[in-house]
Amino acid sequence: MTNRHPEFTVSEQKLKWELRRRSRRDFLIGGAAAVAAFSGYEWLMGGKEDNSLPVRERKVLNGNGNLGVKYVSDSHLMPTYSKADYSYLKANGDIGLDPAFKPGTWQLKVQMGLNGIPDLSLKMDDIKTLPPVTMITRFCCVEGWSAVAGWKGVRFSDFTKKYFPPARQLPRYVYMTTPDEDYYVGLDTPSAMHPQTLLAYELNDKPLTPEHGAPLRLVIPTKYGIKNIKRIGSIQYTDDRPTDYWYEQGYDWFAGL
Amino acid sequence: MPTLKLKHLLAIRWFHWINFPLLALMIWSGFLIYWAFPTYFLGPVRFPNSIFQAFHMDHRLADGMAMHFVFMWLFTINGILYVAYTIFSGEWRLLVPRSLSTFRDAWHVALYDFHLRKEKPLQDKYNAAQQVTYTAIIVMGIGSVLTGFAIYKPAQLYWLAALFGGYPMARLVHFSLTVGYCAFFVVHIVQVMLSGWNNFRSMVIGYELVQGHD
């Protein structure tokens, strides 16, 4: 131990001098390190803003998100529950849910983002031709609460297989908006094609209510609630990363779980 | 005759002082996140809204999440390096309780500190109470990182969330550990103040002035 725990045994005068020398040096180094750390923090939090966040912070979040997408696959399923686990699901946001909305007029616009491929305008009967899927998963709000809810709908992957031209390369992103375009979400295609990503029309064995996004909403349990857009009016496949309502307010674009 | 004795290794001092602002930022941003769903009670006590408002911690969820998910990397890396260093340097031998009697000794240290016991318990570099606390804080740190990742990625790391009793439970454990750090901080500061300047200085310069020889 003596090598790593050396002692100084010298005259008291020399000892005081040595103590003073070491204190002066190390407190100066400490002070300089504190200044450097504070400057580093200021640098990180400074610069331009990117969608309500300091640009460097935003870069780290995008890096985190890209890391997450690499690990999203069919083998990473959100755990499923039984009906006994149902818990109260708060209808948290009403952005894009205009009370004057007429359900009878609802249509789903689908844009492929490809030259020469026309847009589609689908009705609920078109959605229901796809195989129905039920699923009971945890819905996690970005605020920190969560609820177990049962959903019925169709897989977005089945929807895409049916309506997106099979011979064409699937674009990297999907963009969805409410009919009035007041609320909008951007999704990476791997997450959108995840087997638990549904276009849902039932919640807890009952048709969706307007506050939960009737007639058709997105349920994507691998992402925070903010990505689970209610009352979808349009779906667009695109190669440019789309914007997102809460992303613009400073939240992570991926919001993946 | 007094001597200067090396008490804290250079690397340990750096890990300690780097950890301090990082943990402070993690706790601060953690409370910005907690504001959005402040549901936990400790008996009748709830983190009151007035504190959030007094420190401008309200309506900053996005800000808090961004900060938390940036600094988590630095906090985790510094913690891993510290643990690795204590293992490879052999310092862990002085820090980790070596037998069950350490816990009894730690109790004696506590009694002595509260003036409920006269004779000062024998100790190595760290007394038994320090060994228990400094080891516990590392276990807590590992717990924070693991529960943190469990609630950050409950789909991709579903097994980790399950290990802590599911997503809501992992969040509660994560929060409780933070309350634990705050309690640790208070006790730590009081102990450092009671120990005096010589002891505090040794955490900066490494050396402590000791009277006579061992």
Question: Cβ–Cβ of A252/B67 closer than 8 Å?
Answer: no
Question: Cβ–Cβ of A12/B171 closer than 8 Å?
Answer: no
* pLDDT value, residue B48: 77
Q: Average pLDDT, stretch B27-38? A: 94
pLDDT over threshold 50, residue A1: no
Nearest chain A Cα to B14, which residue?
A30
Q: Average pLDDT, stretch A221-241? A: 96
* pLDDT value, residue B213: 54
Question: Cβ–Cβ of B3/A15 closer than 8 Å?
Answer: yes
pLDDT over threshold 70, residue B22: yes
What three-state secondary structure class fits B81? Answer: helix
- Measured from the Cβ of residue A255, the count of other Cβ atoms closer than 10 Å reads 27
Residues whose CB falls within 8 Å of the CB of residue A247, separated by 6 or more in sequence, listed in order:
A51, A186, A253
How far apart CA B76 and CA B83 sit, in angstroms, is 11
What three-state secondary structure class fits A101? Answer: coil
CB pairs under 8 A between A and B: 116
Q: How many Å lie between the alpha carbon of A189 and the closest alpha carbon of chain B?
A: 17
Question: What amino acid occupies position B89?
Answer: S
Question: Cβ–Cβ of B155/A145 closer than 8 Å?
Answer: no
pLDDT over threshold 70, residue A169: yes
pLDDT over threshold 90, residue B131: no
* pLDDT value, residue B105: 82
- Measured from the Cβ of residue B76, the count of other Cβ atoms closer than 10 Å reads 18
What three-state secondary structure class fits A140? Answer: strand
Token pair 């349920």 is found at A219
Average pLDDT, chain A: 93
Q: How many Å lie between the alpha carbon of B116 and the closest alpha carbon of chain A?
A: 33
pLDDT over threshold 70, residue A9: no
Question: Cβ–Cβ of B62/A71 closer than 8 Å?
Answer: no
Judging contacts by C-beta atoms under 8 Å, the chain B residues touching residue A68 are 153, 156
Q: Among candidates A191, A207, A199, A193, which has minimal Cα distance to A253?
A: A191
Q: What is the pTM of this model?
A: 0.90
Q: Are A240 and A127 in contact (CB under 8 A)?
A: no
Judging contacts by C-beta atoms under 8 Å, the chain A residues touching residue B207 are 8, 19, 22
**Percentage of residues in chain A having pLDDT higher than 70:** 95
Judging contacts by C-beta atoms under 8 Å, the chain B residues touching residue A77 are 155, 158
pLDDT over threshold 80, residue B166: yes
Stronger pLDDT, B100 or A51, i.e. the higher one: A51
Q: How many Å lie between the alpha carbon of A165 and the closest alpha carbon of chain B?
A: 30
Question: Cβ–Cβ of B37/A141 closer than 8 Å?
Answer: yes
pLDDT over threshold 90, residue A236: yes
Nearest chain B Cα to A71, which residue?
B156
Residue B102 vs residues B25, B54, B109, B116, B125: alpha-carbon distances, Å: 33, 43, 10, 19, 14
Question: Cβ–Cβ of A77/B1 closer than 8 Å?
Answer: no
**Percentage of residues in chain B having pLDDT higher than 90:** 61
How far apart CA B162 and CA B168 sit, in angstroms, is 10
Residues whose CB falls within 8 Å of the CB of residue B68, separated by 6 or more in sequence, listed in order:
B26, B29, B30, B32, B33
What three-state secondary structure class fits A131? Answer: coil
Question: What amino acid occupies position B52?
Answer: F
Beta-bridged to residue A80, according to DSSP, are: A137
How far apart CA B36 and CA B46 sit, in angstroms, is 14
Residues whose CB falls within 8 Å of the CB of residue B105, separated by 6 or more in sequence, listed in order:
B121, B127, B128, B129
Supply the ipTM of this predicted assembly. Answer: 0.88
Question: Cβ–Cβ of A76/B154 closer than 8 Å?
Answer: no
- Measured from the Cβ of residue A59, the count of other Cβ atoms closer than 10 Å reads 14
Nearest chain B Cα to A26, which residue?
B205
